[in-house]
Amino acid sequence: MKKTLYATPQDAETAFYEAFVRRDLEAMMEVWSEDEDIYCIHPGSARISGHDKIRESWRQIFGSGQDLRFNLRETQRIHTMMLAVHSVYELIGVAGQPRARQVIIATNAYQRTDRGWRMIVHHAAAAPAALKAEPGSDLRPKTLH
């Protein structure tokens, strides 16, 4: 199987969220490194390590059938030649339910490999309630798509 070459960490991140929205397991796992020293923490869950276990976690999430939409806000990035770390606020909505929104803080780490940039860490956690309710916050989207 030929893997996509992600020329930048941003390319890999875009592919990650597109795969998430499409619930496309193969596209999701294409973003991830094939190394076993990778990990993923979904909101409210324990740490999952290794390619096969991470794949299974995404299979279960995608199997739920939820049609999610993401709006990323306040992205902060640290980049070196071989490693990139992105901290983002994910405003998550469910298609057809405009008031159903959740704010997640996520950290995504990418490593430069001989096959382009690959995700090595995704750590997502619910944002503090105070942040979600802050009047006039930049985290309160006008629309989700």
pLDDT of res. 144 = 39
pLDDT of res. 137 = 53
pLDDT of res. 2 = 56
pLDDT of res. 74 = 84
The architecture (CATH level 2) of 9-128 comes to Roll (3.10)
Q: pTM (2 decimals)?
A: 0.84
Please tell me the distance from the alpha carbon of residue 90 to that of residue 83, in angstroms, as a whole number.
21
pLDDT along the chain (145 residues), means of 10: 84 95 95 94 95 96 81 88 95 72 91 95 87 50 40
Concatenated DSSP letters of 97-130: EEEEEEEEEEEEEEEEETTEEEEEEEEEEEPPHH
Please tell me the distance from the alpha carbon of residue 119 to that of residue 64, in angstroms, as a whole number.
23
